[in-house]
Amino acid sequence: MDRKTLYLVGGQLLSLGVIGWLWGENRELRASGPAYQDAAGRQVVASAPRDRADEVTSAPAKYRSAVTAVEKDAAAGPKPRPRPHIEPTMDGGAVLRWPGVGRSLDLTPEELVAFEQELRAARLDATAKLPGGPSWSPGQAAGAPDTSGHGDFRTAWASADPDSGKEWLQMSYAEPTEIGEVVIHESFNPGAVSRVLALMPDGSEKVLWEGTQDPAEAGQVSNSVFKVPPGVRSDRIRVELDTARVPGWNEIDAVELVGSDGRRQWATESTASSFYGQDRRVATNFGTEWYGR
């Protein structure tokens, strides 16, 4: 059983506690909806199942409307804004009550599930792009390398599926620089990089390298260096992969931006076309969470 399967099974053992946790705790429930990244016209977070769309998609809108009303009622009241108490109902739904402002919101069982999924999608967006985020998320490729060696480790980014074809990983850095080279730390099954691009301030893209990588030595981490012609200044890099080129997950631990002046930067955040665990429950650095919808 590989590491990904072990984490998946471990997360699923706790799945029955999710609704109990939501009901049993008075948490600050943010009204944020799901977030998307469209650098290549694809979603980072899978959208909600639509087979019951007419039943479930009203829940987040209902909640945001209730929050707007609560904030209006409490505009002259104490800060911070009131937080709802969550009470289960006999039919499996819930009632959210805002103490002190006399408002409540009834959610059916279907709406409650959709609402929870919205919250977890918002949490995903907040954490998946940052260093130390969920296992195999794009955030695992932000910051300095921290994967101990060649292998399938959750401290590197991995796409949702192996051998699936086109995937991308996009990095943001603290400061724009004239780029001298891009160093990609490939920690598992290296060799699938097909293009490296700089995203320019005017919204255009500059291809820095395109082609087929030289075969990497089996079982070794590959620090692939891509030299950049003079005159390209940017603080964002996108790495595109053809994951069908090299069997198995092609995992990236970090992408280093090296300036023409020799200054080196690690990414402050990272997004991706997909990542392993985005639509299932997995163990992460933040505990066991549901990622994706």
- In the chain, the domains with their CATH numbers are 3-127 (no CATH), 138-277 (2.60.120.260)
Read off the pTM: 0.62
Would you state the structure tokens that stand for residue 226, as one six-digit string? 């891509």
Return all residues near 120 (Cβ < 8 A) that are at least 6 apart. 289, 290, 291, 293
Q: Which residue has the higher pLDDT, 112 or 279?
A: 112
Query: What confidence tens digit (pLDDT) does each residue in 5-15 have?
Result: 555 544 443 33
Q: Residue 216 has what DSSP assignment?
A: P
pLDDT of 262 strictly over 50 = yes
Whole-angstrom distance, CA of residue 166 vs CA of residue 198: 18
Least-confidence region, from 133-137, 236-240, 252-256 = 133-137
* pLDDT confidence of residue 162: 95
Residue 98 has pLDDT above 50, yes or no: yes
pLDDT grade, residue 205 (50/70/90)?
Answer: very high
For residue 38, give the nearest of 142, 159, 170, 156 by alpha carbon.
170
More confident residue, 143 or 48: 143
Which residue(s) pair with 54 in the sheet?
A: none
Residue located via tokens 């053809």: 242
For residue 271, name the pLDDT band (cuts at 50, 70, 90): very high
Q: Are strands 287-291 and 233-242 parallel, antiparallel or unpaired?
A: unpaired
- pLDDT top residue among 240 and 23: 240
Q: Is the pLDDT of residue 196 over 90?
A: yes
Q: Is the pLDDT of residue 78 over 60?
A: no
pLDDT tier, 74 (very low <50, low <70, confident <90, very high otherwise): low
Please give the pLDDT value at position 80.
Answer: 52
Neighbours of 13 (CB within 10 A): 10
Tell me the pLDDT of the chain averaged across its residues.
Answer: 76
Question: Which residue, among 25, 31, 19, 14, has the nearest Cα to 91 in the 3D structure?
Answer: 19
Helix/strand/coil percent split, the chain, to 5:
20, 30, 45
How far is Cα 218 from Cα 186, in angstroms, rounded to an integer?
Answer: 12
Higher pLDDT, 110 or 73: 110
Q: How many residues does the chain have?
A: 293
The answer to whether residue 218 scores a pLDDT higher than 80 is no
Q: Is the pLDDT of residue 19 over 60?
A: no
Amino acid of residue 183: V
| Residues 6 or more apart in contact with residue 61 via CB below 8 angstroms | none
Residue 36: per-residue pLDDT: 32
Opening angle at CA 22, ends 94 and 99, nearest 5: 60
Higher pLDDT, 224 or 293: 224
Strands 193-199 and 233-242: antiparallel
- Residue with more model confidence, 71 or 113: 113
Distance from C-alpha of 106 to C-alpha of 94, rounded to nearest angstrom: 6
Q: pLDDT digits over 22-65, tens only?
A: 333 333 333 333 333 333 433 333 333 333 333 334 556 766 67
Q: Show the tokens assigned to 190.
A: 């290296």
